Structure 1
Amino acid sequence: MASTKDRQRALERARYERVQQKIARQQAAARRKKRVAIVTAVAVLVVGGGATAAVLATSSNPKTTPQAQSSASAPASAAASAAPSSTAEKTGYTKTGTAAKNVGIPVFDATAAAKPYTATIHTNRGDIVFTALSAKAPYTTFSFQYLAGKNYFDNTNCHRLVTSGIYVLQCGDPTGTGQGGPGYQFQDENLGYFGAAGSSGQVTYKAGTVAMANSGPGTNGSQFFLVYKDSPLAPNYTPFGTITKGMDVLQAIAAQGNGPTDPNTQNTPPKEKVTIQSVTISQS
């Protein structure tokens, strides 16, 4: 027969195990919640519903080894991974996938790309104006100017708004699904714009930043995001513009929150539709 002390020890041991199990469950729940928060933030910038590994990814841009020519301003890691094709060597851009709008592929012109410009995004909610970082991201700003000149962005809906963890409005897909692109891709640039990443592997993308969405290194296309509040992100998304007017428009859109999540794409669109009516480029 067990002694009183033995029974007490057994009860204490059972109580201890229950407490440890409860703590383990709480820790597991916290880890799951953290993973969900991270995935939600990452998915914001992901172009395409299936590309959840990159914050702003586009599923129209497959995760392949980048083919675009590496510019002098691109980070060393991007330059090392780039394997230029004959097309990319001539143009700076590589044909890929099916274009959401058939606008051809730009031929990079270094002289034209170096010229600074201001872009005005005319939306149904008001104008948003940004200054292009032409000297720091020439391939990106040249592509954006090319697409604007081809009316690529006209009458397109911004398909994703993120209001937690990171704070961005994502646009640039004529299909409005987050899966469309221009039929070409190009390398990353200017990834050190906000300094070196900290121990978290992130930097702060400042409010007013305009940056490219992608589905992995060297897969930039047409989708971009507008940062309306400082956002912690891995330095994987090319910053190519700074908003100089219209932050109030962007913040008003964010203040209204999200509409229902699209069950097919898992996009979280703005509650009130945001449509880019046109984009005007003005040379500085």
Structure 2
Amino acid sequence: MAADRRGREMRRQLSQIEAKRALGRSQQQRRRRDNRLAALAAAVVLVLAVALQVFWFSSNPTPAEMAALEEAAGDAEAASAEPTGNGPNIPDPSTAEGRVFTGTLATSAGEIGVKLDGNVAPQAVAVFSSLAEDGFFAGKNCHRLTTAPTMGVLQCGSVNGDGAGDPSYLWGPVENSPQDGSYPAGSIAVARGSETDTNGTQFFIVYKDSQIPQNTGGYTIMGSVTSGLDVVQEIAEGGVEGGGQDGPPATPVTIDSLTLQ
């Protein structure tokens, strides 16, 4: 009888050990699967974010196209395990915190005085002051003009001049975004895709009081025009190439430089 009890106890212990091993193997497989899904979801979010940036700020998408892309991006984001932070190529916001930069945006249409405020948008101002210091904007164009009744903006800073973003230079978050979607004339804001960490190198100047769709969080107002808003207004008066209310400005605009101090 004692031998039988010992035998049963040994079999029970062996069964427990095997069950623990099976659970460990299952957990390890699940972690590997979850990691693969997270990586795939992150890649999908990145591709869709860039696509949305092209659609929203370099073209005139239909409501159905925007809804489909935003829904797909939202589904992919939900599948991602953890959000990723800014990459090492993105300047730290501490370089602009508490600082106000003033300077000039020199364009082929005239000079525009600007102010970027690191008190309200330190990450955005850190990025754009760094880009300006590197001479990034020299030779870039203003590729999009919107002249809708309730929205008037001139957008510039695309890497290749076609409105597409740079997938290797995306950052967040959105800062200093008006909750009601009201952007006063003279605002300088950051263009982005659907997600709040898809800001890039593009910015837009609001040339008249505007109501802008918030696009899941709005857009960072990082500064304002201090002089030369009439330069942008004259570009807007020239209209959109080919007519319509959204597209390349009929008057081509090239940036000579953005200098800040």
Q: TM-score, length-normalised on structure 1?
A: 0.60
Task: Summarize deviations over 1:112-163 as a string: whole Å, max 9, x none.
Answer: 4432111311101111122112111100010001111111111111001111
Q: Which residue of 1 aligns with 2:120?
A: 136
User: Could you tell me which amino acid in structure 1 is paired with residue 156 of structure 2?
Assistant: C
Deviations 1:238-284 (A, max 9, x none): 111111111111111111111137xxxx97111111000111011xx
Residue in 2 that maps onto 1:215: 193
Q: Measure the CA separation in 1 of the matches of 2:104 and 2:220.
A: 19
Residue type of the alignment partner of 2:148: S
**CA contact 2:108–2:253 (8 Å) conserved in 1:** yes
Partner of 2:234 in structure 1? 252
- Per-residue CA deviations over 1:34-87 (Å, capped at 9, x if unaligned) read xxxxxxxx999923449777xxxxx9xx958999xxxxxxxxxxxxx99554xx
Q: Which runs of 5+ in 2 are unaligned?
A: 1-51, 64-68
Picking from 215, 225, 237, the partner of 2:219 is 237
The two structures, once aligned, show a CA RMSD in angstroms of 3.5
Q: How far apart are 1:94 and its partner, in Å? A: 3.0
Cα deviations by residue, 1:175-231 (Å, 9 ceiling, x for unpaired): 110013372211233344x3x43xxxxx21110001111111221001111000111
Q: Which has the higher helix share?
A: 2
SS of structure 2 residue aligned to 1:117? strand
Runs of 4+ aligned residues of structure 1 deviating over 4 Å after TM superposition are 42-45, 48-53, 62-67, 81-84
Distance in structure 2 (CA, Å) of the matches to 1:43 and 1:180:
7
1:116-195 superposed matches below 5 A: 116-165=100-149, 166-181=151-166, 183-192=168-177, 194=178
Asked if the contact 2:132/2:258 (under 8 Å) is kept, the reply is yes
The one-letter code matched in structure 2 to 1:271 is A
Query: Structure 1 regions of 5+ residues with no counterpart?
Result: 1-41, 54-58, 68-80, 96-104, 198-202
Higher-Rg structure is 2
Query: Which secondary structure does the structure 2 equivalent of 1:156 belong to?
Result: coil
Distance of 2:55 and 2:114 partners within structure 1: 19
| 1:25 alignment partner in structure 2 | none
Q: What is the one-letter code of the residue matched to 1:153?
A: F
Which of the residues 114, 134, 138 maps onto 2:98? Answer: 114
CA displacement 1:90-115 (0-9 Å, x = unmatched): xxx237xxxxxxxxx23315154432
Identity level (%): 35
The answer on 1:268 being equivalent to 2:261 is no
Alpha carbons of structure 1 residues 112 and 187: separation in structure 2 relative to 1, 3 Å: closer
Aligned 8 A contact 1:208 1:242 in 2: yes
Q: Identify if the C-alpha distance between structure 1 residues 280 and 164 changes in structure 2 by more than 3 Å, giving closer, same or farther.
A: same
What secondary structure, in the 3-state scheme, does the structure 1 residue paired with 2:112 have?
strand
Query: If the length of structure 2 is used for normalisation, what is the TM-score?
Result: 0.65
1:47 paired to 2:31: no
SS in structure 1 at match of 2:240: coil
SS at match of 2:231: helix
Work out the CA distance in 2 between the residues paired with 1:132 and 1:254: 23
- 1:141–1:225 distance in 2 versus 1, CA, 3 Å: same
Question: Structure 1 241/148 Cα, relative in aligned 2: closer, same or farther at 3 Å?
Answer: same
